[in-house]
Structure 1
Amino acid sequence: MAGDQGDGKVEQQASPRVLIVGAGPAGLSLAIELGQRGIACLVIERNDRVGYAPRAKTTNVRTREHLRRWGIADRLRAASPLGVDYPSNVVFCTRLAGVELARHENAMYCAPGRNPLYSEHAQWIPQYTVEGVLRDHAQSLPGVQIRYCCELLDLSQDADGVRTRLRDLSGGAESSVRADYLVGADGARSRVRDLIGTRMLGEYGLSRNRNIVFSAPGLDRAHRHGPAIMYWQVNRDAPSLIGPMDRGDTWFFMPTHVDAARHAGVADERALIARATGIDLPYQVLSSDEWVASKLLGDRYRKGRVFLAGDACHLHPPFGGYGMNMGIADSVDLGWKLAAVLQGWAGPGLLDSYEAERRPVHQWVMDEAERNHAVLGNQLLADGIEDDGERGQRIRREVGGRIQAAKMREFATLGVVLGYQYEDSPVIAAESGPCPARDFINYVPTSRPGALAPHAWLHDGSSLYDHFGQGYTLLAASASLDDIAAARADARRAGVPLTVIQPAEGAIASLYPARLTLIRPDQHVAWRGDAWPGEGVLARACALSLHPQRGA
């Protein structure tokens, strides 16, 4: 950059179509969604994203289905530091050296193997590893640029685009970048959110907690509970979560509801780990930070050509593993819509559906996360839980029963992960009748408009999702040739990319009872029916204004 802050010059940079502020999982996922659709974008990040202590460790089945669609699910699988066959058990115990209270096996659905309900199993993997896979793929796309140590100073917008003022933190030089749209994926302390005046509503400070990453050679062999991804320790020394995180005997330790005033540094943290686990080892603290659990939702996700995604517009406790995954899902929803508008096969009104679709999902997930946060080790404590003899055994049985009943909601959540629906979206052809009741655990596939298109494995070993197109897909297993021809002709006239598939497997008919099902680029159902109704269905799905002569 030629200009610098000292001489007052501001260099004008080449214009991307979309400027993304934030190179975390949400920002990188948006760059991939746009880049794979040929939309030039610039990602800026004020940090270097190196050495960040992870909080997110669960990449759920829906996120991995997006990675499959992007062609990088296998890369994330190969990057798993513990191996994909490592059991995703969650063990509740008094302490690592103590007595088991309860356990949940295959938590989050991480077990490899084919499940008829989804195309990709979940994965227990540090967020920084996920970011590395996303970053490498984003940087391989020709239209994607990522600029680290670069911060957003200011923005303004008009009817044609957004103008920003940026600063290079390594040298202080300023530059000006203009883009068609800007997306703030810049986290809980979002600068973009402040600039567009979005307010976070809800409750701040549900609890204060610490996230400590440490090295502990031999800790995996120093207890008798077997391999697990998390051990919840229920004792009076330090109600906490602890578990393996990475190669090199790297673990995380998360004491919950901590008193910040009593924190006394690394030596105290080493002693706290020893007390909480009951195992004395030469613990080496690698990083430590305090984090605050809150329940906050932005009062709006958009101002003109500026949007918010991820933690910039919704914050909730991490219990249930929803946070990072929700941010990635935001970017998928917004990404294909921005691309459609910029490529001219959707109207600007399509972008209005982003908040209409995602905000109700965020509210549901926030409520689920808050319920999970309400039952931590602090709430599970009972007098005498570590006592010897019959009394201690009885108390531990009672606590174990409470754990099995209360924590299933946190570790068996397929109904939340796959069951959300965009029933009230303006671009969904909603059907009459009540929407199926929400169920956090039981996911029942449905091809009702707004729902995620049901998954199936085909006889050649591929997933049904593998055959969906990058634009809209018309699943027409039992449709007439005339209806298929009419749909193709209408899509050509409207300029909407349409892929027609006709799977022959008999099981498809039970999942897709209508003769025709129109599926969006994000794999949600837009419409279904037994006869093609004309191009009006595409006009609604893409927020297009059709020419009057077409009978719109």
Structure 2
Amino acid sequence: MGTDRPADAPVIIAGGGPVGSSLAIDLALRGVPSIVLERREKGKPFLLRTNMTNVRSMEHFRRWGMADALRRNDPVPDDIQRDVSFVTRLNGHLLLNLPRTYEWSEPLPFASEVAEWAPNEGIEKTMWERVEQLPLIDYRFENEVRTFTQDDDGVSVEVARADGTTYELRGDYLVVSDGSRGNLRRVLNVRHEGRTLAKSLSWHFRSKQLKEVWSAGPVVSMVYIYNEDRGSDLITPQGPDTWQYFAGPAPEGVDGDDWEQVKQLIFKAVGQEIDVEPLSGGAFGENSLLAPRLDYGRVMLAGDAAHMVSPQGGFGMNSGIGDAADLGWKLAALVQGWGGPMLIPSYSIDRREAVRFIQLGSEANHALGAIELVRPGIEEDGPAGDAVREAVKTDILERKLVQFKRMGGQLGYRYSSSPVIVRDGTEQPPPAFADYTPSAAPGNRAPHLWLADGSSLYDHLGLGFTLLDLGDCDTSDLLKHAERRGIPLQVFTPVDEDREALRALYERDAALVRSDHHVVWRGDELPADVEHLLDVITGHASWSSR
């Protein structure tokens, strides 16, 4: 491949699923063009196991202008309650129903958004609609990256069309987001490190009868099926008369790729035979894997190409959205000329720390399966069975529900090892996966507040850096130096009635927050050498260089 041709786009993205699309959207909103290469046909979403866009991802969706659109695009019918239930079989006994587990009618005080329970069909529809609104994104369906080479000036990419013909593209950077089974990671000779937690199976299928025979409590967003016949099964609605069946681990002797065997498992979970039509599915490994690094020269890994997370907790896609949020502003800074050489290495450092924290929490969730909770007699009718089911219900409440307490995993990860933040010496306890405690120490997600005018604090953060002025700081020198260097930086001074509450959250008179909501510096007054502060947060100098 030649290297003397100009770049076709600053950033080429191999893989246009949720992670690749998110990155392209983030870049476009910053004025950076990209080319997205996706092997699927237009309008053919993956029928994945993804169902939950969590609170943190929805905060990014909000700033990308598509949070409300996702709510509108949810294909799950309104007559399905956004609850979690535990049953023996769908036509058996109800063990426990948790109302409105996946429905939020009131805003959270500590977040700018609430989570949205919607299958991948709705997620990708929302992203593709947003992509079409942004002319800086050149999204090419039925185009797949075959291989690439890189040099000091950029990356050359070989692309195959659906008809087998190939062509070459040139970009300044390449982001590989082609999934866990993509081939491009192998071009870099990168192997994931970690372990397989279970061999499981997942199938999407169509059934008009399933809702009719569901008698163990209401028809809900997620139902866990506990009985002595099978440790645990999971069924979730994906749209009108469309469902997903999950068994993890898969029963011994069952081939997860064999629909006829899986169909019998579904019948057992339901409690009777029903009409079922397979749509897609098969066996897969529940993996907890992470690449040794995510940056390789001008090539970066993102999403499942970079890491895999146990599905117990719903962090798979959401971890990839976090990659896009971290990488987007850093690539834009380099393309626009105000970013320094530490930005790309910092992507690896930041995201590996966050993903490993999430992996450990998800692994803990995985360790407690139904096999530890199911007891003999769980399906018996009468008082004896009632007593067993009550005991299992108590076990679920005491031991299993930690899986649904994951706000710390969503909001509490931090970039404490990042070279592009300025530490202030604050001693912090280890982050907790279940519960979230806001902290404004550099590296953390900026504490959120709903302001007196009803807006979110995050709505006032710019596309670069925003200085929260909570104590009448003299910001003129900082703004002057940032403007001279082309660094996007603005000042937000809240009204008096908001300032006191924010001062209590941030514990300083000023804090510098970047567009992905992470604090990079705080203090009671700006440092005398604002040039060094700008050097660190833009990747021109490490925080430890002094």
- Smaller-chain TM-score bracket: over 0.9
* C-alpha displacement of 1:120: 1.1
2:90 maps to a residue whose letter is L
Q: Residue 498 of structure 1 is aligned with which of 489, 497, 514?
A: 489
Q: Quote the Cα distance in structure 2 between the aligned partners of 1:424 and 1:107.
A: 34
CA contact (8 A) 2:340 2:540 kept: yes
Q: Please say which of residues 402-411 and 251-260 is displaced more in the overlay.
A: 251-260
CA contact (8 A) 2:406 2:433 kept: yes
- Pairing of 1:60-75 with structure 2 (within 5 A): 60-75=54-69
CA contact (8 A) 2:23 2:324 kept: yes
1:175 maps to a residue whose letter is Y
* C-alpha displacement of 1:224: 4.0
Q: What are the Cα deviations for residues 503-536 of structure 1, in whole angstroms up to 9, with x where unaligned?
A: 1213222112211100011110000001111232
2:319 matches 1:319:
no
Q: What are the Cα deviations for residues 389-440 of structure 1, in whole angstroms up to 9, with x where unaligned?
A: 4432332222222212222222121111001111110011122243223222
2:126 matches 1:133:
yes
Q: What are the Cα deviations for residues 219-270 of structure 1, in whole angstroms up to 9, with x where unaligned?
A: 1673141242111001133430012221x22222212222475349545444
Q: Quote the Cα distance in structure 1 between the aligned partners of 2:454 and 2:503.
A: 18
Change (3 A) 1:525 1:87: farther
* Residue aligned with 1:381, SS: coil
Structure 1: where are the runs of 5+ without partners?
Answer: 1-7, 547-551
Partner of 2:295: 302
Q: Please say which of residues 22-31 and 128-137 is displaced more in the overlay.
A: 128-137
Q: Residue 179 of structure 2 is aligned with which of 162, 187, 191?
A: 187
CA contact (8 A) 2:55 2:111 kept: yes
Partner of 1:542: 538
Q: What are the Cα deviations for residues 294-324 of structure 1, in whole angstroms up to 9, with x where unaligned?
A: 1211112121100100100111221101000
1:185 maps to a residue whose letter is S
1:500 maps to a residue whose letter is V
Q: Quote the Cα distance in structure 2 between the aligned partners of 1:220 and 1:513.
A: 56
* C-alpha displacement of 1:104: 3.6
Change (3 A) 1:51 1:424: closer
Structure 2: where are the runs of 5+ without partners?
Answer: none
Partner of 1:177: 169
TM-score (norm 2): 0.92
* C-alpha displacement of 1:59: 0.5
* C-alpha displacement of 1:51: 5.3
Q: Quote the Cα distance in structure 2 between the aligned partners of 1:85 and 1:72.
A: 24
1:71 maps to a residue whose letter is G
* Residue aligned with 2:157, SS: strand
Partner of 1:449: 442
* Residue aligned with 2:342, SS: helix
Q: Quote the Cα distance in structure 2 between the aligned partners of 1:433 and 1:466.
A: 27
Q: Quote the Cα distance in structure 1 between the aligned partners of 2:38 and 2:252.
A: 29
CA contact (8 A) 1:161 1:305 kept: yes
Q: Residue 527 of structure 1 is aligned with which of 516, 521, 532?
A: 521
1:309 maps to a residue whose letter is A
Partner of 2:74: 80
Change (3 A) 1:382 1:218: closer
Q: Quote the Cα distance in structure 2 between the aligned partners of 1:402 and 1:435.
A: 33
Partner of 2:139: 146
Q: What are the Cα deviations for residues 177-205 of structure 1, in whole angstroms up to 9, with x where unaligned?
A: 11100010010013221111111111136
Change (3 A) 1:127 1:260: farther
CA contact (8 A) 2:350 2:417 kept: yes
Q: Please say which of residues 430-439 and 295-304 is displaced more in the overlay.
A: 430-439
Q: Residue 235 of structure 2 is aligned with which of 242, 250, 255?
A: 242
Partner of 2:278: 285
CA contact (8 A) 1:210 1:258 kept: no
CA contact (8 A) 2:21 2:128 kept: yes
* Residue aligned with 2:526, SS: coil
Change (3 A) 1:517 1:458: same
Q: Quote the Cα distance in structure 2 between the aligned partners of 1:265 and 1:85.
A: 32
Q: Quote the Cα distance in structure 2 between the aligned partners of 1:438 and 1:324.
A: 21
- Pairing of 1:211-250 with structure 2 (within 5 A): 211-217=203-209, 219=211, 222-238=214-230, 239-246=232-239, 248-250=240-242
Identity, in percent, stands at 37
TM-score (norm 1): 0.91
Partner of 2:324: 331
2:456 matches 1:463:
yes
Q: Quote the Cα distance in structure 2 between the aligned partners of 1:275 and 1:545.
A: 61
CA contact (8 A) 1:53 1:213 kept: no
CA contact (8 A) 1:31 1:41 kept: yes
